[in-house]
Structure 1
Amino acid sequence: MKPTQEMNISLVWCLLVLSFAIKVLFSLTTHYFKVEDGGERSVCVTFGFFFFVKAMAVLTVTENYLEFGLETGFTNFSDSAMQFLEKQGLESQSPVSKLTFKFFLAIFCSLIGAFLTFPGLRLAQMHLDALNLATEKITQTLLHINFLAPLFMVLLWVKPITKDYIMNPPLGKESIPLMTEATFDTLRLWLIILLCALRLAMMRSHLQAYLNLAQKCVDQMKKEAGRISTVELQKMVARVFYYLCVIALQYVAPLVMLLHTTLLLKTLGNHSWGIYPESISTLPADNSLLSNSVYSELPSAEGKMKVTVTQITVALSSLKNIFTPLLFRGLLSFLTWWIAACLFSTSLFGLFYHQYLTVA
């Protein structure tokens, strides 16, 4: 019973933190929409439509190239839902079609992409500034790995590039399997967590690179003609330091989303942290039988309570049969991949913009 309770507590914690991170990014995006003069609103809308089209294109790719397990999970969900409706005496029809499911999933993905637009653009600028400040080769190498970390995460689900070559590498005429699928899934989770830890470790370098923008602004104003008052100079420097909280949120919130979707994938997808898969516990079924035996001994005056509790238990077990680990594994794998893909796409565009399109 204790492992089940700990799993439920960790599950609730991950959901709360994930929803809080999404709320933070939503609040930051709404502030960009309130700006009338700048083009932040147009940038968010443009990237939102771009990620919607991209999500629809990705969802049409077969499992032979992008192995999320989304098709298998949705098929299992539809079959389980139809069986549940048949037991209830209702029409045996799937509650949602595959096209509708992918359409709403693409809308949700476009919102995530819009929320991650400015964090990715800001990360590209801080990456360039941090590279200019770094003097050691090790720091520069870590900065490059940190910038390419979302790309590495994206490639983990590309079956022809990673899974086929890692699990069955071509060694001469024969291919010797190096690991099982469960081991590969575990290594994938550990790689994502390690890359998230690296990004957290490089946070100080990126924030320091942003703070150095104040010195750049002062040097730029010294080159301009005319006199500058001390009050204007102080306001400009203070604006950079006050905005540091927003920069920190834009740096940490996508990292928190990515990390907790990975933890949810491990928990709800029934994965394991070890090399060998964990055994699935059957305690809930035993507890339900125990509860029924206990309620059967209650007095007749509490018969209604017994029926109510039994109905709730049956409903929860039915929901557990409908929302299976196959569904959560496919859905959370796709969401984890999508967050990494959005971060890399926006940061790559920001790198191109700050490197070639801005005036030095």
Structure 2
Amino acid sequence: MLQFLVAYKNPILHTCLSLFLTFIFSFFKIPSLFLHGLHTYIQPDNINQDAVRAAIRRPESSNPSSTPQGYQNLSSKANVEPRKRIKSKDKVEFDENNAQIFRIKLDDTHIKSRLYFNDYRRAITLSFVCLPCLLLQFYLGGSESSGFFANGIFVPLLLGFLSFCNLVLSVAKVSFEKSWSTQSEKQLSVLFGGLGFMLGLMICCEIVPSGLDFSFGRINGIGRVFVAVLMGFLSGFLLVPALKNARAFWLGTDQLRSNLSMIHCGWFARMILYANNMLMIFTALLWINPFAEVLVNKNIDDTKGARLVREVGDAERLVGNLGMSRYDFNKLRLWCLLLVGLMQIVVLRPNVQMYLNEALLCWYQRLHASKVPDLDFSRAKVFLHNHYLCLVVLQFLAPPILVLLFVGLSQIDGNSCISFQSVCSLQPCFPFAKELALFLAWWVVFIWAVFTSGSLALYRCGIWYVS
């Protein structure tokens, strides 16, 4: 029995860690706790009309002037009745009772009632169980003599595959929600998915071999088409979340200059948003050869650490003669990918809060648009933003989790799978799998940076606007 425990200690540790994390996430309700305390908004129905409105009715009260417990009235001061105006025969006055909006803090009961909560809970639990197992495997390592199952490598690989499939299928499922995105956004997703597939074919077939610091010479034509399809799939389904991320950044950093403290973030959250955007763009450029060559010193021998002496021209004195060694540069790229994934998780709560504040901004704009505002649109928008909360969280959560999963899979020791190479024909499939995982991690960061930066440029030029 003792020999069995010693021989199979790695898979036993992985199994115990997975079960322990699953219990912690379920017992302490971590998915709900992650969103606890965020502010959402509810606008009551128009009480002077008999028609049914697309909004959540004000609970526990039939009196329009009273404020329910736990709700904060944002349209008037506390304990002050809305001023009744005398209506004239020629003028139509607006009833201020219809301008009320309530702010509440999300708790476990509110979050569980939202649409797609089960998908969000399953995705975050499975992902945050898989990532520590990948980290544990990285520190435990493995040896060729132990074998595939004794090394325990199959546990993080299986969890990683399940987490990836669940996350991708969940994002694909919510992307077809009719009330969530407009027809133009769906058409743009299909367009950019096709463009991503074509660009993937060009990259995999090495039509532009000097463009990216990746090599796809180890796979055949079918494998390259599969990688291109996966790239197009990620491009199409991550477009709408990237557009929402850009809107959240635009509101959080107060680019509208609205000076409404309840809509934009504080100074610390703004710094995180700016740092996240800059780090994402910097990381996306690290695999593009013209930029990477500036940061790598080709005159440093990685094995000996000695500087090679050769005659160079004036044009070559900067590029290839400044920077760090190739080994240190590869480590820098991995750390940047890891930091991008972690930073995306850190800014998830501010992004979700800005998504909810977008409904408040719509209510404010509609309220001051005319003397007799029509609040039906803002009432429906407040309802939809409140109703699809977990859907948005799932879309914001997908890119960082995919990046962290791919980075973790790319760092698994190849010696652990030596005995498993027989199913991969005669070609060294495992080194290519690690290279492919690293490439997909960069691809997610790249398309996220391109979509977000392009959307912000359109907002800055006034072509797009937040309403």
**TM-score normalised per structure 2:** 0.55
Confirm or deny that 1:358 pairs with 2:457. Answer: no
Query: How big is the shift at 1:162?
Result: 2.5
SS of residue matched to 2:453: helix
Deviates more, 1:112-121 or 1:326-335: 326-335
Residue of structure 1 equivalent to 2:243: 121
Query: How big is the shift at 1:338?
Result: 1.6
Aligned residues: 292
Amino acid at match of 2:160: C
Compared CA separation, residues 180 and 348, structure 1 to 2 (3 A): closer
Residue of structure 2 equivalent to 1:302: none
Determine if contact 1:25/1:250 at 8 Å carries over to the other structure: yes
Larger RCO: 1 or 2 (CA < 8 Å, sep 6+): 1
Query: How big is the shift at 1:243?
Result: 2.1
Residue of structure 2 equivalent to 1:248: 393
Deviation string 1:199-218 (CA, Å, 9 cap, x unpaired) is 21112221221121222122
Deviation string 1:113-159 (CA, Å, 9 cap, x unpaired) is 101110111110001111112452x5434312212333222222223
Amino acid at match of 1:265: S
Q: Distance in 2 between matches of 1:107 and 1:211?
A: 34
Amino acid at match of 2:453: L
Confirm or deny that 1:153 pairs with 2:283. Answer: yes
Q: Distance in 2 between matches of 1:349 and 1:175?
A: 33
Residue of structure 2 equivalent to 1:43: 188
Amino acid at match of 1:120: A
SS of residue matched to 2:214: coil
Compared CA separation, residues 348 and 195, structure 1 to 2 (3 A): same
Query: How big is the shift at 1:236?
Result: 4.0
Determine if contact 2:202/2:208 at 8 Å carries over to the other structure: no
Confirm or deny that 1:30 pairs with 2:176. Answer: yes
Residue of structure 2 equivalent to 1:9: 155
**TM-score normalised per structure 1:** 0.69
Query: How big is the shift at 1:343?
Result: 1.1
Q: Distance in 1 between matches of 2:322 and 2:458?
A: 45
Confirm or deny that 1:199 pairs with 2:344. Answer: yes
Q: Distance in 1 between matches of 2:276 and 2:181?
A: 34
Compared CA separation, residues 359 and 193, structure 1 to 2 (3 A): closer
Residue of structure 1 equivalent to 2:20: none
Q: Distance in 2 between matches of 1:194 and 1:344?
A: 14
Aligned-residue RMSD, C-alpha: 3.3
Which consecutive unaligned segments of at least 5 residues does structure 1 have? 75-96, 271-279, 286-314
Q: How does 1:1-360 map to 2 (within 5 A)?
A: 1=7, 2=10, 3=142, 4-32=150-178, 38-59=183-204, 60-71=206-217, 73-74=218-219, 97-98=220-221, 100-132=222-254, 133-136=264-267, 139-162=269-292, 165-168=295-298, 175=321, 178-179=324-325, 181=327, 183-225=328-370, 226=372, 228=374, 235-267=380-412, 270=414, 280=415, 317-319=422-424, 321-355=426-460, 356-359=462-465
Q: Distance in 1 between matches of 2:196 and 2:429?
A: 28
Q: Distance in 2 between matches of 1:106 and 1:359?
A: 33
Amino acid at match of 2:212: L
Amino acid at match of 2:238: L
Structure 1 or 2: more helix by fraction: 1
Determine if contact 2:153/2:416 at 8 Å carries over to the other structure: no
SS of residue matched to 1:31: coil
Q: Which has the larger radius of gyration?
A: 2
